[in-house]
Structure 1
């Protein structure tokens, strides 16, 4: 059954998604289908690529942070990731994201 939700543990900084809470440190617990996890992995992959682009771009000092397209991509992907985690997360995850005060930055389902 592809639509069956499974429990996952998310480490937001590294973009790590694990099925077991003991595999590595984690920030959020979510329940997601295989398709939802695939979407979240794609967002984390896009951020990984944006981080590398940012690393190389950082060696070109004449573009300020707020004018750099790479940073926009990274920031937008972080908002997507937090939005997905909020929508899929348990009560503790939802409360934590609410307390971060970033909910007004994106629309939840």
Structure 2
């Protein structure tokens, strides 16, 4: 082993001076706490069908006459790519299906 690589190897039981056992326990609790917040927030962040209908009505109120056609995103050409719905289409409909249309 070269002298340079042995200089950067950590000794067994090495702990930086700023990490007390209390800090280590708290840092291990962050991940479950953040995950539980994300799960709770995701379940609270769902919009109702009435909310989407209200958004579409507000859009139609701004257009004096005519038709609104909104197209969603297409399915990706390769199977390994993930599908992401168009944010504008998702805002109006909440649909996450590829190749969807709103008329």
Question: Which structure has more helix as a fraction of its residues?
Answer: 1
Query: TM-score, normalised on structure 1?
Result: 0.26
Q: Which has the higher strand share?
A: 1
Give TM-score scaled by structure 2 length. 0.27
